[in-house]
Chains A and B, each alone.
Chain A
Amino acid sequence: EIVLTQSPATLSLSPGERATLSCRASQSIMSQLAWFQQKPGQPPRLLIYDASNRATAIPARFSGSGSGTDFILTISSLEPEDFAVYYCQQSNNWLTFGGGTKVEIK
């Protein structure tokens, strides 16, 4: 099973700041990585697919990069609605999710 390790577990930032979230895979997953945002009581919302492609209606402040084993989700300037938990998910070998990064207001 491919293990996805997300870091940090919690990111404390202020609105307007840049957020950099990491997801590392235990073996190469090429570019088969997606990022989701989840708010309390809601299902996950797709942000990025295939490592770097924004999903429909996702603002340009969200961007993804990486391939192989190391991936980054960047939120260029945090808006109040961006404070949430973010998960990465791989589909190269079965399906697994990372443990999540909580972006909280500092």
Chain B
Amino acid sequence: QVYLVQSGAEVKKPGASVKVSCKASGYTFTNYYMHWVRQAPGQGLEWMGKINPDGGSTTYPQKFQGRVTVTRDTSTSTIYMGLSRLRSDDTAVYFCARWRDGYNTFDYWGQGTLVIVSS
């Protein structure tokens, strides 16, 4: 059974940075790209970027380039999402999700991590 287990909630001040983790189990970690998607309170879903766990190459949409860093640790089958220069509008639930190539979409999601940015 595939599991994606994320780290716990965070409260940060504006201007600070946050790092969220997502530990994968139940499959071969390096065989599937992993993505991060966020959801502001009461809002829709927003894609933040992806990583190829096999090699570590990353891709970010223009909106997040320079502020988001996605990394992985193959020894623990964990991916990380770092977001810097936090603003109040970064308050959201952050999800990791596994990409299924044959489906052209996400087949498994983490439970979500709430990040609150407040002074």
- Interface of A toward B, CB cutoff 8 Å: 32, 34, 36, 43-46, 49-50, 53, 55, 87, 89, 91, 94-100
Contact = CB atoms under 8 A, between A and B. Distances in A.
A97 B47 contact: yes
Interface residues of B, number: 18
A97 B61 CA distance: 13
Contacts of A50: 103-104
A45 to B, nearest CB: 8
Which of A32, A44, A55 has the largest number of chain B CB atoms within 10 A? Answer: A44
A96 B95 CA distance: 15
29 contacts: A32-B104, A34-B104, A34-B105, A36-B106, A43-B97, A43-B109, A43-B111, A43-B112, A44-B95, A44-B106, A44-B109, A45-B109, A46-B105, A46-B107, A49-B103, A49-B105, A55-B103, A55-B107, A87-B44, A87-B45, A89-B105, A91-B105, A94-B47, A95-B35, A95-B61, A97-B44, A97-B45, A98-B44, A99-B44
